[in-house]
Amino acid sequence: MVTIDQAKYLDRQDELQDYRHEFYIPKNRIYLDGNSLGLLSKRAEKSVVEMIDSWKNLGIDGWVDAEEPWFFLSERLGSMTAPLIGADPDEVIVTGSTTINLHQILATFFHPSSKRNKIIVDELNFPTDIYAVTSQLQSHRLDPEQHLIKVKSKDGHLLNEDDIVRVMTDEVAVIVLASVLYRSGQVLDMEYITKEAHKRGILVAFDLCHSIGSIEHSLSKWNVDFAFWCTYKHLNGGPGSVGGMYINRRHFGEKPGLAGWFGSDKDKQFDLEHDMTIANNSGAFQTGTPHLLSAAPLIGSLSIFKEVGMERIREKSLRLTQFMIELIDQELGSYHFIVRNPRQEKTRGGHVFLEHEEAARICKALKQNNVIPDFRAPNGIRLAPVALYNTFTEVWETVQILKQIMEEKQYNHFENKRDVIA
């Protein structure tokens, strides 16, 4: 039987417990929505202040004279990110956003021919990826009804990698999949998918939004072609913080489909020539001037990941989610919750996904009880205990609060529909 004493013991034994004090924890709240927006760290706050001070004190000279020179910041942050995804520093660039970076990848590397002119996605992916892929197909005058292949899920929650392989025909040019599914939290076998795709001459791009900062990757070892991600979830970069992109080095030298002057070779950029000399690294796929104030938090945030390392983060994350699942089984078995994420460690990401017909109302009741969850229409509750700042005691308390909500039917006080932002 799982008890509060066990939770407290696990907290005392937690070697990452001191990092909780690095973050601003909302007062008297249990924050379990770090897979949508990570909390602010004191180091990230300090980095923003330092960026503003460099602007205030140096003006335009901040491009080269700031402590973290602005001109090279995207590359610098890329090198800090690289160990989190198992890449070489020059294969990673911090730039753009999830959607813009996917557009860049497809605009550059999707070259439909009479034979290869289809893109594989899956029916469980986050809508922004589908919108981007659809618009890229349309830009080539290709009908998404015929050229967009959506891999089906047998149960509406999980994907079978062999089902993905089965649709890898010689008509497919590119595959775009999430590394971790945003609802169920399933971790896909990226190595296997990439290997099978390459056997058939297909390029592979992974959306890492729900895996970067949460699970370990070996993108270069797995020979993945491309990846893209946001930085405001598990990386704690703040709302709208600058995204990131991975380009395998074998694709260096390709002229970017969405070209802009920050994709120039750094030594040539200010020659201001109309014939572009593209950078011979992932920096070639930048477009405009970096959003420095939105990138600044990452300087501090990524320094924490460098200290801790993904192995320890992943280890604690798995223990937190396993502890939560065991508690849910123990305490909530009679209240019709269904745990939809994988229970196996290898395929479980950094959050727990529950289904319940009253999910929207339950989430509102949790918030009234000072627990911050994440609702996903039509009937999903995501709970993300984050390794760097959540505790086992918070997990235990959350499940007890959830049990009380169900016992007292507190959810009846709310409408069973989402708010404007869910």
Task: Give me the active site residues, please.
Answer: 126, 207, 232-233, 382
The answer to whether 98 is a known ligand-binding residue is yes
- What DSSP element (H or E) covers 58? helix 42-58
Q: Is 261 annotated as a binding residue?
A: yes
User: What number of other Cβ atoms are within 10 A of residue 52's Cβ?
Assistant: 13
129 annotated to bind ligand:
yes
**Distance separating alpha carbons of residues 351 and 331, to the nearest angstrom:** 18
| 126 labelled binding-site residue | yes
In angstroms, the CA 36 to CA 45 distance is 19
Where is 205: in which H helix or E strand? strand 203-207
Contacts of 206 (CB under 8 A, 6+ apart): 176, 177, 178, 179, 188, 190, 219, 224, 226, 227, 228
Cβ pair 81, 219 in contact under 8 A: no
Tell me the residue length of the chain: 422
Rounded Cα gap, residues 367 and 292, in angstroms: 34
Number of H helices, E strands in the chain: 14, 13
Tokens 């960026």, residue located: 51
Q: In angstroms, how far is the first alpha carbon of the chain from the final one?
A: 34
Q: Is there a binding annotation on residue 99? A: yes
151, 182 contact by CB (below 8 A):
no
Rounded to an integer, what distance in angstroms lies between the CA atom of residue 314 and that of residue 209? 16
By DSSP bridging, strand 244-247 and strand 226-229 are antiparallel
Q: Is 17 buried (19+), middle (13-18) or exposed (0-12) by CB count in 10 A?
A: middle
351 known ligand binder = no
In whole angstroms, what is the distance from residue 133 CA to residue 280 CA?
26
Other beta carbons within 10 Å of 99: 18
Rounded CA-CA distance 61/159 in Å is 51
- Which residues sit in the known binding site for pyridoxal 5'-phosphate? 98-99, 126-129, 207, 210, 232, 261, 289
- Which residues sit in the known binding site? 98-99, 126-129, 207, 210, 232, 261, 289
